[in-house]
Amino acid sequence: MADEKTGLIYQKIPDIMSAIDPIRKARTNREQGFKFRSIDDVYNELHDLLAKHRVFTLPEIISEHREERKTAKGYTLFSQEIIVKYTFFAEDGSYVHATVKGEAMDSGDKASGKAQSYAHKAALLQAFMIPTDDETKDPDYGSPPPIKPKNKRPAAKPQQSDKKVTRGTPVKQQSAPVIKSKADIYKLNRKQLIAWLTSKRSVRYDRKIYDRLKKETFGDTPVKDITIEGFQNFFETVEEQALIKPKKK
């Protein structure tokens, strides 16, 4: 076998990298609203280039873990976590490894396949450093808020006077819209949807269920990154599970 430190694979990978076009994050997750690149997008871009340069990959599953989880509606989901080592081969037998993690959930028998697709996509994106040609939010753009010491008491709020004091021009804030039926949500623009989602008051929903569904659906996704479709899908779930039904007389 050729020496893997001087073999063709170390030439082939840079050659492929120089010929790759950016793959934009053109797809949208329907539940959480974030943008992503699918495994098919990556395959479509790389297939002919890998064939041209006579490079291929083979997987080896190092470890896997599978468990059952329950959704908010009581359905069963199968969670699959795998560690996969992918080997990139060149025609002279030289090779390099890339070890990645894949994770996926499914209600049927496809969790394993989804996890392997995710792992392969991660290996290809990282090995060839495929650009997106668009602005991707980097973790270094923001920092978490400082943690306040628990032993300190919060400063007392100054008592408000009944007299109105006007200083400068008041800033108008977007008030939360009133939702009376499902049809109302589809009439709102993006600013109104954000105001509705961040509103602290809601007479239509059980607050505990609403907050739990909000956390499960959006997680740490910034509100400004959630699409209108993401808002609407979340609203449908809230209407189904958290709506306070009127008491029968």
Q: What is the pLDDT of residue 43?
A: 94
**Distant-in-sequence, close-in-space partners of 12: CB < 8 Å, separation ≥ 6:** 53, 54, 55, 90
Distance from C-alpha of 16 to C-alpha of 184, rounded to nearest angstrom: 51
Distance from C-alpha of 237 to C-alpha of 216, rounded to nearest angstrom: 11
Distance from C-alpha of 178 to C-alpha of 184, rounded to nearest angstrom: 8
Domains and CATH numbers, the chain: 9-128 (3.30.390), 182-241 (no CATH)
**Distant-in-sequence, close-in-space partners of 175: CB < 8 Å, separation ≥ 6:** 195
Radius of gyration of the chain (CA): 25
Per-residue pLDDT of the chain (249 residues; tens, 9 = 90+): 444 457 999 999 999 999 999 888 888 887 778 888 889 999 999 999 999 999 999 999 999 898 888 777 778 888 889 999 999 999 999 999 999 999 988 887 888 889 999 999 999 999 999 998 766 555 555 555 665 555 556 666 656 555 555 555 554 555 666 666 666 666 767 677 777 766 654 556 677 777 777 777 777 777 667 776 777 777 777 777 766 665 554
The dihedral formed by the CA atoms of 175, 179, 180 and 186, expressed in degrees to the nearest 10: 130
Alpha helices in the chain (DSSP H): 9-19, 39-52, 111-128, 182-185, 190-198, 207-218, 228-241
3-state SS assignment for residue 164: coil
How large is the angle between the packed helices 111-128 and 39-52, nearest 10 degrees? Answer: 50
Q: What is the pLDDT of residue 7?
A: 92
Angle at 38 between CA 37 and CA 42, to 5 degrees: 85
Residue of 133, 126, 138, 120 whose CA lies nearest to 23: 133
Distance from C-alpha of 219 to C-alpha of 33, rounded to nearest angstrom: 11
How crowded is residue 227: how many other Cβ atoms within 10 Å of its Cβ?
17
* Tokens representing residue 102 in the block: 């894949």
